[in-house]
């Protein structure tokens, strides 16, 4: 086959030959070089810094400088690469040290000050037990004695890491490493051997469903676009991830951007699109850099562009920086935003697969959905169908946050129970306190009670609980969380992010927020009938919520009432405490806190009265002081400054 | 293809490709809407038109969902009625409780929705957005506090007019409709056509109120108040007085206005005739000089502003003749008021027009000379009806009277300038006469009166070819200007910003439909066909006026009265 593209980097031309050898009959030629690219044949130590966007928080720059100083001072030679997070966020900063012939040591919680000691030990084949978390197997190398494997970690056991497999290990800014690990083989094999319709069939057969939260069968959506007659079609990758606390897509892009690029390329081929766009939120600066680099590298190698490797297939991918609004994650608002208009959703029908970007058939897919494509094409739909449940196939990424021992990212097979995820993979609730509720699915999601934790990760099972799976954000709440305030928080988020086009969402979310605000705050003047107003307000919440769900134009409005409705149904007593008793059992709602001073303990030092910003404390020096309830806003400054622990919350 | 669907238990006929809403309305089922605009794609913003479709979880907006054979629809189920009621209540929760003081009291779609949905209590107390009005424009006032964000004004300005001076700004509950950089409307590219007012369901948009100015003038002892109204207005006000559209009330209007205290009442058709004749003179001059480049009309102030903003290179081609409104004002101030002891500065001249842009035109700098404005106040059709009612005048019971000189003779021939094509037709008639000495057969000119967005007609006049064109609407102008401006075979191009012409102007009665507009145009055509003075009579009209003005004002004279200028305008 002629390979005379002028854009190809000369020294990597053999990689193209390797990719074009789809039957593998010439694999011997490439074996050595691939082993080197996979770091299975090291000539000197390899030090990996596992950090994505968290690198600034973890001061990875300083750690890198310390490593370089050590190597210089000790005249040691080692290769240093930066990868990305492997999902074990609670154990960061993590560092990998791979010595020639040995498994990779994975170290946790590395401080700048520890670097010298760690390297001193490790580079002299002395595994320092203090920081070692585990070891990662390397083909053809020796394990270290007495150190558990990565796969044996309790946090990792129970996970099924297909998409996350190379996160933290592979250099995300190196296309040859990705190819050496099997990347882009699916793409090249597909464009030379399968017609687009066949690819759609295979994906539909696999049962892959949209991972952005909608759960729509991916293959079916592709077929609609493939069968629509048009002179131009588009594939858009929705990377506008904006759920507070969710970072699955960011991890995928930062850790293995080529996996996403290949998925996009396969999807674009399957629907007959010669142009693909990645709508990536501009706040993800590292993800933007890595994705743009990946696209550029793929282009240089000839894997993107016109007439890719003489296959007749043309595809160009462009990264679009999203201006950053939650509502632009809704596909029609996203398309409007890409067209330069206000990010307000359009009426559906027509659906984007029929009429989308610039009126052409457009498929909008989530990052995680697309990351699965290359694996399904590599192993076949049957392999994918064997993972998961009857109607939910494959794996799902979840980001765990809140009051868990090990915050981080996990990838589990569909059908795994939520209990397993929280207690096994995330280590259970922090400080071993009791789980009050599990919030699943971000601002469009629901609260689950501890009993409901036995539910499996499955689209239909979770839908039967009141809302879908969501995009993967999971937040654990214990007694430190006020569920009324949680509902208020998510409603305020939705109200701020509402685009304003339709009345139920724009006005409804405002009124619901007003009511929730009255539950969690003191009113301006506490007249006698406020309790009745609050109670009426809660009745209206349910009625308004139903109208919002019934009539809102897009998913934002339709799902905004979910956290509130689930909190009201399952944790009604907390609401009633706020309404009638004006009490917040978690002491989160500051204005409901009323402080009082224990006269036995108070020495009359007057410090609290002087510090009180609202002049709500009265008393004479040397005599016990008194909090004026009407003026107290519950800020807690008095309690903080009292040296005699005399101030309490009523 | 026609098929059956089930609605409220009954079978009705539906057409493939139409939306549920269309099918329902055709079968007499009334569905409330707020953001729906006929002829434009569905917006889906208000959610009022929701219906229940069996098998679909959420309620479906009937404006955007195409009909399908399997559909079983319920239009007024408890769930639907409750949803619509809640939506209206939500709107009211953020709306000022100002009905009694509002210009749209009794004519407001939000009021209609509230009473239709039997809203009897304020269920959602809470803060309202405090927003300031924008009184900067001389033609329109914006009151964002009353805006329900239906988006009809934006779509009108953007998709119908092609101007796009306003759009949604900010987001969510903070959304307000604003101009570029949030500045006042007077600094924006708004051409003051007022079509947004016609689209607005509430009092968020209305004309700049000048009725109180007129009232003050009428009550001042030393004021001499005169009024001139457009014939278009005379055939339109009947609709606001309970009559069917298309009745010419000019006779009764003359009587009513005199009763209201106006010392002189003029019908603007006379000034129209003068304007047409002056324009025809310019056309003939250019033709004889061999200048093969069209002249553009300048009587539509919205078009003039549009040209000044967007097409300043065309300004040399705009006829530098004052519009009929301004001509009449100039004549009144300088000649027509022949009362002893009345100084020009004591005359307060009011123009009553179907237009909001005329308010802008009246305050243009060049329309005031040495402190005397040609026109002191402009009232829209709607404001004039308010005035008549304010003075307790039962206009329909009055005996018709004739208007004052010079229009007392009546029978003028440019009534048709109120509809699209009318100016071009009138100019063509005069030019034909000036070139051949004969009146052109009117049945040759019907093409110019069609509803198309662009019309042209070329007729032979002796050895000459007279080509005129009509651009019907500012959007049509945007679409055709590139090829039009250098046409060598066209002598004159009429441009009207409002599609359909002044009969569909921004100052006309609200809540009118296409039939009303057609009937108004037909009434004007009717008046035209009864006209006795044609092109031939123009000289008799103009000469005495010209001599009189030149005698009274030897230093400025007739020329200064008739001429005007245009200048490039910078807008945000």
- Asked if B126 reaches chain A (Cβ–Cβ under 8 Å), the answer is yes
For A321-377, write each residue's pLDDT tens digit: 998 899 999 999 999 999 999 999 999 999 999 999 999 999 999 999 999 999 999
CA distance to A391, A521, B371, B409, B540, per residue, from B402 (Å)? 84, 71, 32, 8, 19
Do B58 and A347 lie within an 8 Å CB cutoff? no
Q: What is the ipTM of this complex?
A: 0.89
Dihedral (C-alpha) A378, A380, A386, A388: value to the nearest 10 degrees?
A: 60
Nearest Cα of chain A lies from the Cα of B44 at a distance, in angstroms, of 6
Tell me, rounded to whole angstroms, the distance of Cα A403 from its chain centroid: 17
Which of B10, B35, B115 lies closest to B23 in space, CA to CA?
A: B10
- Asked if A578 reaches chain B (Cβ–Cβ under 8 Å), the answer is no
**Before A349, cis peptide (omega within 30)?**
yes
pLDDT at res. A528: 59
Q: Report the distance separating Cα A605 and Cα B424, nearest Å.
A: 92
Angle of CA points A121, A124, A125, to nearest 5°: 90
Give alpha helix (H) positions in A75-148: 115-122
Q: Are A176 and A15 in contact (CB under 8 A)?
A: yes
- The answer to whether residue A7 scores a pLDDT higher than 50 is no
Q: Report the distance separating Cα B357 and Cα B305, nearest Å.
A: 9
Q: Report the distance separating Cα A535 and Cα A541, nearest Å.
A: 10
Q: Report the distance separating Cα A364 and Cα A353, nearest Å.
A: 8
Q: Which of B45, B167, B171 sits opposite A502 (nearest CB)?
A: B45
Q: How crowded is residue A434: how many other Cβ atoms within 10 Å of its Cβ? A: 8
Buried b / exposed e along B295-330 (16+ C-beta atoms within 10 A): bbbbbbbbbbbbbbbbbeebbebbbbbbbbbbbbbb
Q: Which of B59, B87, B171 sits opposite A500 (nearest CB)?
A: B171
Q: Report the distance separating Cα B152 and Cα B196, nearest Å.
A: 7
Strands B492-496 and B295-296: parallel
For chain B, give the percent of residues with pLDDT over 90.
84
Which of B498, B480, B499 lies closest to B490 in space, CA to CA?
A: B480
pLDDT, average across residues B321-350 = 90
Length, in residues, of chain B: 572
- The answer to whether residue A6 scores a pLDDT higher than 70 is no
Which stretch, A273-282, A530-539, B117-126, has highest mean pLDDT? A273-282
For B383-421, write each residue's pLDDT tens digit: 999 999 999 999 999 999 999 877 555 667 789 999 999
For B258-278, write each residue's pLDDT tens digit: 999 999 999 999 999 999 999
Q: Report the distance separating Cα B204 and Cα B185, nearest Å.
A: 14
pLDDT, average across residues A208-228 = 95
Strands A617-618 and B2-7: unpaired
Q: Report the distance separating Cα B201 and Cα B98, nearest Å.
A: 15
B94 burial type by CB count under 10 A (0-12 exposed, 13-18 middle, 19+ buried): buried
Nearest CA in chain A to B66: A349
H helix or E strand, kind and range, residue B458: strand B454-461
Q: Report the distance separating Cα B327 and Cα B562, nearest Å.
A: 6
Confidence of residue A299 (pLDDT cuts 50, 70, 90): very high
Q: Which residue has the tokens 């999601």?
A: A445
HEC sequence for A354-406 = CCCHHHCCEEEEEHHHHHHHHHHHHHCHHHHHCCECCCCECEEEEEEEECECC
CA distance to A45, A86, A121, B555, per residue, from A102 (Å)? 10, 20, 14, 107
Q: Report the distance separating Cα B42 and Cα A183, nearest Å.
A: 45
Phi, psi of B16 (to 5 degrees): -60, 135
Tell me, rounded to whole angstroms, the distance of Cα B284 from its chain centroid: 30
Q: Are A211 and A369 in contact (CB under 8 A)?
A: yes
- The answer to whether residue B5 scores a pLDDT higher than 60 is yes
Nearest CA in chain A to B174: A500
Return the SS3 of B510: coil
Q: Report the distance separating Cα B235 and Cα B504, nearest Å.
A: 12
pLDDT at res. B126: 75
Which of A115, A143, A142, A112 lies closest to A128 in space, CA to CA?
A: A115
Phi, psi of A302 (to 5 degrees): 90, 10
Query: What's this model's pTM, rounded to 2 decimal places?
Result: 0.91
Give the neighbor-by-neighbor strand order of the sheet with B492-496: B295-296, B492-496, B464-472, B454-461
Confidence of residue A540 (pLDDT cuts 50, 70, 90): confident
The encoded tokens of residue B135 equal 């009184």
Phi, psi of B90 (to 5 degrees): -65, -40
What is A570-621 written as a DSSP string? H-HHHHHIIIII---TTS--GGG--EEE-TTT-----HHHHH-TT--EE--T
Do A507 and B174 lie within an 8 Å CB cutoff? no
Q: Sign of the C-alpha dihedral, residues B542, B544, B549, B551?
A: positive
The encoded tokens of residue B22 equal 């269309």
Q: Sign of the C-alpha dihedral, residues B458, B460, B465, B466?
A: negative
Q: Are B166 and B188 in contact (CB under 8 A)?
A: yes
Strands B377-380 and A94-98: unpaired
For A569-604, write each residue's pLDDT tens digit: 999 999 999 988 888 989 899 888 888 899 999 999
pLDDT, average across residues A623-628 = 91
- Asked if B344 reaches chain A (Cβ–Cβ under 8 Å), the answer is no
CA distance to B276, B321, B441, B443, B546, per residue, from B560 (Å)? 17, 10, 34, 37, 11
Confidence of residue A258 (pLDDT cuts 50, 70, 90): very high
- Asked if B537 reaches chain A (Cβ–Cβ under 8 Å), the answer is no
**Before A369, cis peptide (omega within 30)?**
no
- Asked if A553 reaches chain B (Cβ–Cβ under 8 Å), the answer is yes
DSSP A305: B
pLDDT at res. A2: 43
Which of A4, A113, A124, A9 lies closest to A67 in space, CA to CA?
A: A113
For A103-121, write each residue's pLDDT tens digit: 999 999 999 999 999 999 9
Which of B356, B338, B68, B412 lies closest to B195 in space, CA to CA?
A: B356
The encoded tokens of residue B539 equal 């000289």
pLDDT at res. B400: 96
For chain B, give the percent of residues with pLDDT over 70.
99
- The answer to whether residue B456 scores a pLDDT higher than 50 is yes
Q: Report the distance separating Cα A223 and Cα A202, nearest Å.
A: 11
- The answer to whether residue A532 scores a pLDDT higher than 90 is no
- Asked if A300 reaches chain B (Cβ–Cβ under 8 Å), the answer is no
Tell me, rounded to whole angstroms, the distance of Cα A376 from its chain centroid: 22
For A61-102, write each residue's pLDDT tens digit: 999 999 999 999 999 999 999 999 999 999 989 999 999 999
Residues of chain B neighbouring A501 (CB-CB closer than 8 A):
44-45, 149, 151
Q: Report the distance separating Cα B18 and Cα B7, nearest Å.
A: 15
The encoded tokens of residue B353 equal 């027009």
Nearest CA in chain A to B34: A503
pLDDT at res. A245: 87
Confidence of residue A9 (pLDDT cuts 50, 70, 90): low
Q: Report the distance separating Cα B332 and Cα B406, nearest Å.
A: 10
Q: Are B521 and B448 in contact (CB under 8 A)?
A: no
Q: Which residues, in sequence order, are CB contacts of B443 under 8 Å at separation 6+?
A: none
Nearest Cα of chain A lies from the Cα of B82 at a distance, in angstroms, of 8
Give the neighbor-by-neighbor strand order of the sheet with A316-322: A316-322, A275-281, A234-239, A362-366
Which of A323, A326, A167, A163 lies closest to A241 in space, CA to CA?
A: A326
Nearest Cα of chain A lies from the Cα of B155 at a distance, in angstroms, of 13
Which of B256, B218, B250, B508 lies closest to B376 in space, CA to CA?
A: B218
B390 burial type by CB count under 10 A (0-12 exposed, 13-18 middle, 19+ buried): exposed
For B21-64, write each residue's pLDDT tens digit: 999 999 999 999 999 999 999 999 999 999 999 999 999 999 99
- Asked if B58 reaches chain A (Cβ–Cβ under 8 Å), the answer is yes
Return the SS3 of A618: strand
Nearest CA in chain A to B125: A511
Q: Are B41 and B47 in contact (CB under 8 A)?
A: no
pLDDT at res. A1: 43
Confidence of residue A10 (pLDDT cuts 50, 70, 90): low
HEC sequence for B155-167 = HHHHHHCCCCCCE
In the beta sheet, which residues pair with residue B352? B229, B379
Nearest Cα of chain B lies from the Cα of A514 at a distance, in angstroms, of 7
pLDDT at res. A110: 92
Q: Report the distance separating Cα B274 and Cα B280, nearest Å.
A: 10
């Amino acid at each position: 086959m002629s390979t005379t593209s002028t854009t190809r980097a000369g020294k990597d031309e053999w990689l193209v030959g390797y990719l074009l050898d789809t039957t593998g009959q010439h694999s011997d030629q490439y074996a050595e070089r691939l082993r080197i690219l996979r770091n299975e044949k090291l000539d000197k130590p390899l030090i990996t810094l596992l950090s994505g966007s968290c690198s600034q928080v973890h001061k990875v720059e300083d750690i890198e400088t310390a490593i370089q100083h050590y190597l210089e001072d000790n005249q040691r030679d080692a290769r240093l690469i930066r990868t990305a997070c492997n999902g074990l966020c609670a154990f960061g900063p993590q560092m990998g040290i791979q010595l020639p012939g040995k498994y990779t040591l994975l170290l946790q919680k590395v401080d700048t000050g520890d670097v010298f000691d760690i390297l001193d030990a490790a580079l002299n084949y002395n595994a320092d037990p203090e920081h070692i978390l585990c070891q990662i197997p390397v083909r053809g190398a020796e394990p270290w004695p007495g150190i558990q494997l990565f796969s044996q970690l309790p946090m990792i056991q129970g996970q099924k890491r297909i998409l996350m497999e190379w996160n933290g290990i592979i250099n995300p800014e190196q296309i040859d490493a990705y190819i050496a690990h099997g990347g882009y083989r699916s793409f090249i094999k597909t464009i030379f051997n399968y017609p687009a319709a066949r690819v759609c069939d295979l994906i539909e057969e696999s049962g892959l469903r949209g991972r952005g939260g909608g759960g729509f069968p991916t293959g079916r959506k592709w077929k609609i676009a493939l069968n629509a007659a048009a002179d131009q079609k588009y594939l858009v990758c929705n990377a506008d991830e904006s759920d507070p606390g969710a970072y699955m897509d960011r991890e995928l892009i930062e850790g293995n951007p080529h996996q996403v690029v290949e998925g996009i390329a396969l999807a674009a081929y399957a629907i007959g699109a010669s142009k693909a766009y990645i709508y990536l939120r501009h706040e993800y600066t590292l993800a933007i850099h890595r994705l743009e680099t990946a696209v550029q590298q793929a282009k240089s190698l000839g894997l993107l562009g016109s007439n890719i490797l003489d296959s007749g297939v043309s595809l160009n991918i462009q990264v679009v920086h999203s201006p950053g609004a939650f509502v632009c994650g809704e596909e029609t608002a996203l398309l409007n935003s890409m067209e330069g208009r206000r990010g307000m959703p359009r009426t559906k029908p027509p659906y984007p697969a029929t009429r989308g970007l610039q009126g052409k058939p457009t498929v909008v897919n989530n990052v995680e959905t697309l990351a699965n494509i290359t694996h399904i094409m590599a192993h076949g739909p049957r392999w994918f169908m064997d993972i998961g449940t009857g109607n939910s196939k494959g794996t799902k990424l979840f980001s765990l946050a809140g009051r868990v021992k090990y915050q981080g990212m996990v990838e589990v097979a569909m059908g795994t129970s939520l209990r397993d995820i929280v207690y096994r993979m995330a280590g259970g609730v922090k400080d071993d306190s009791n789980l009050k509720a599990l919030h699943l699915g971000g601002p469009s999601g629901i609260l689950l009670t501890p009993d409901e934790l036995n539910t499996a990760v499955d689209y239909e099972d979770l839908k039967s609980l009141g809302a879908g799976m969501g995009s993967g954000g999971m937040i654990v709440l214990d007694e430190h969380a006020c569920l009324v305030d949680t509902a208020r928080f998510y409603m305020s988020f939705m109200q701020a992010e509402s685009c304003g086009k339709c009345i139920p969402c724009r006005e409804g979310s405002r009124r619901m927020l007003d009511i929730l605000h009255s539950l969690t705050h003191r009113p301006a003047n506490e007249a006698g009938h406020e309790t009745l107003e609050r109670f009426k307000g809660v009745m209206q919440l349910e009625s308004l919520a139903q109208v919002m769900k019934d009539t809102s134009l897009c998913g934002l409005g339709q799902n905004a009432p979910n956290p509130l409705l689930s909190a009201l149904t399952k944790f009604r007593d907390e609401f009633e405490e706020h309404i009638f008793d004006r009490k917040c059992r978690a002491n989160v709602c500051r204005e409901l806190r009323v402080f009082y001073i224990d006269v036995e303990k108070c020495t009359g030092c007057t410090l609290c009265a002087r510090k009180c910003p609202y002049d709500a404390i009265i008393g004479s020096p040397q005599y016990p002081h008194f909090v004026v309830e009407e003026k107290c806003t519950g800020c807690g400054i008095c309690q903080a400054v009292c040296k005699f622990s005399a101030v309490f919350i009523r | 293809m026609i098929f059956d669907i089930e609605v409220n238990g009954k079978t009705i006929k539906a057409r493939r490709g139409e939306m549920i809403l269309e099918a329902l309305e055709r079968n007499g089922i009334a569905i409330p809407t707020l953001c729906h605009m006929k002829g434009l794609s569905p917006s889906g913003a208000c959610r009022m038109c929701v219906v229940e479709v069996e098998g679909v979880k959420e309620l479906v907006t009937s404006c955007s969902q195409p009909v399908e054979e399997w559909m079983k629809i319920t239009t007024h189920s408890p769930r639907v009625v409750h949803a619509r009621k809640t939506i209206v209540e939500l709107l009211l929760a953020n709306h000022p409780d100002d009905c009694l003081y509002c210009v749209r009291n009794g004519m407001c779609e939000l009021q209609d929705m509230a009473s239709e949905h039997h809203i009897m209590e304020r269920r959602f107390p809470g803060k309202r957005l405090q927003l300031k009005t924008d009184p900067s424009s001389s033609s329109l006032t914006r009151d964002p506090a009353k805006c329900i964000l239906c988006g009809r004004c934006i779509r009108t300005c953007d998709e119908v007019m092609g101007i796009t001076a306003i759009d949604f700004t900010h987001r969510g509950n903070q959304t307000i409709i604003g101009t570029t950089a949030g500045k006042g409307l007077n600094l924006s590219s708004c051409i003051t056509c007022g079509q947004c007012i016609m689209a607005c369901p509430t009092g968020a948009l209305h004309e700049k109120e000048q009725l109180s100015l007129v009232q003050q003038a009428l009550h001042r002892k030393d004021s001499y108040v005169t009024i001139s109204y457009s014939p278009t207005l005379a055939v339109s006000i009947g609709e606001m007085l309970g009559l069917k559209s298309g009745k010419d009330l000019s006779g009764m209007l003359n009587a009513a206005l005199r009763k209201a205290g106006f010392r002189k009442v003029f019908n603007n058709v006379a000034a129209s005739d003068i304007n047409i004749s002056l324009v025809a003179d310019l056309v003939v001059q250019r033709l004889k000089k061999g200048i093969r480049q069209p002249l553009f009309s300048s009587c539509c102030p919205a078009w003039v502003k549009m040209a000044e903003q967007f097409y300043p290179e065309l300004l040399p081609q705009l006829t530098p003749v004052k519009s009929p409104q301004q001509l009449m004002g100039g004549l009144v101030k300088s000649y027509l008021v022949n009362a002893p002891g009345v100084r020009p500065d004591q005359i307060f001249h009011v123009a009553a027009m179907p237009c909001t842009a005329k308010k802008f035109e009246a305050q243009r700098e060049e329309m005031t000379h040495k402190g005397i404005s040609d026109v002191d106040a402009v009232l829209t059709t709607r404001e004039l009806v308010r005035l008549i009612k304010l003075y307790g005048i039962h206009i329909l019971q009055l005996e018709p009277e004739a208007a004052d000189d010079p229009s007392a003779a009546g029978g003028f021939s440019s009534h048709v300038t109120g509809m699209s094509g009318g100016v071009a037709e009138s100019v063509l008639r005069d030019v034909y006469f000036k070139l051949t000495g004969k009146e052109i057969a009117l049945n040759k000119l019907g093409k110019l009166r069609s509803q198309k967005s662009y019309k042209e007609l070329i007729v032979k006049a002796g050895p000459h070819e007279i080509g005129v064109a009509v651009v019907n609407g500012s959007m049509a102008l945007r679409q055709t200007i590139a090829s039009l401006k250098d046409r060598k075979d066209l002598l004159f191009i009429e441009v009207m910003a409002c599609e359909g012409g002044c009969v569909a102007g921004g100052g006309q009665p609200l809540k009118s439909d296409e039939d009303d507009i057609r009937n108004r145009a037909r009434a004007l055509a009717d008046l035209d066909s009864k006209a006795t003075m044609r092109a031939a009579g123009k000289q008799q009209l103009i000469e005495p006026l010209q001599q009189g003005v030149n005698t009274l004002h030897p230093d400025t004279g007739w020329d200064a009265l008739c001429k005007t200028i245009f200048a490039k305008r910078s807008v945000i």
